Structure 1
Amino acid sequence: MKVALYARVSTKKDQTVENQLLALRDWAEGRGHTIAGEYVDEGISGKKGRDKRPGLDAMEKAATRGEFEMIAVTALDRLGRSLPHLVGLVAELEALGVGLFVRNLALDTSTPAGRLMFNVMGSLAEFERELIRERTMLGLERARRQGKTLGRPKVPGATERRIHALLESGVPINKIMRLTRVGASTIYRIKKELAACPSNQ
Structure 2
Amino acid sequence: MIIGYARVSTDDQKLEAQTDALTEAGAERVFADKITGSTRSRPQLDQMIDHLRQGDVVVVTKYDRLARSLRDLLDIVESIAERGAGFRSLVEDIDTTNPAGRLVFHVFASIAQFERERISERTR
TM-score normalised by structure 1 residue count: 0.59
Alpha-carbon shift at residue 40 of structure 1 (Å): 0.6
Does residue 51 of structure 2 align to residue 62 of structure 1?
yes
- Considering fraction of residues, name the structure with more helix: 1
Alpha-carbon shift at residue 67 of structure 1 (Å): 7.6
Higher relative contact order (CA 8 A, sep 6+): 2
Rg (Cα) greater in structure: 1
2:10 maps to what in 1? 11
What do residues 44-92 of structure 1 show as CA deviations (whole Å, max 9, x unaligned)? 1111012xx11101101101xx286100000111011111121122122
1:128 maps to what in 2? 115
Find the aligned partners of 1:58 and 1:95 in 2 and give their Cα distance.
15
Helix, strand or coil: the match of 2:108? helix
The 8 Å contact of residues 9 and 36 in structure 2, kept in 1 or not, is answered as yes
The 8 Å contact of residues 54 and 83 in structure 2, kept in 1 or not, is answered as no
Alignment of 1:90-169 (within 5 A): 90-137=77-124
TM-score normalised by structure 2 residue count: 0.93
Find the aligned partners of 1:58 and 1:68 in 2 and give their Cα distance.
17
Counterpart of 2:92, as a letter, is L
Number of residue-to-residue matches in the alignment: 124
* RMSD of aligned residue pairs (Cα, Å): 1.4
Find the aligned partners of 1:94 and 1:116 in 2 and give their Cα distance.
14
Find the aligned partners of 1:68 and 1:5 in 2 and give their Cα distance.
14
Alpha-carbon shift at residue 101 of structure 1 (Å): 0.8
Counterpart of 2:123, as a letter, is T
Deviation above 2 Å: which 4+ runs of structure 1? none
Distance 1:110 1:67, change over 3 A: closer
Distance 1:8 1:60, change over 3 A: same
Counterpart of 1:136, as a letter, is T
Alpha-carbon shift at residue 95 of structure 1 (Å): 2.4
Structure 2 runs not aligned, ≥5 long: none
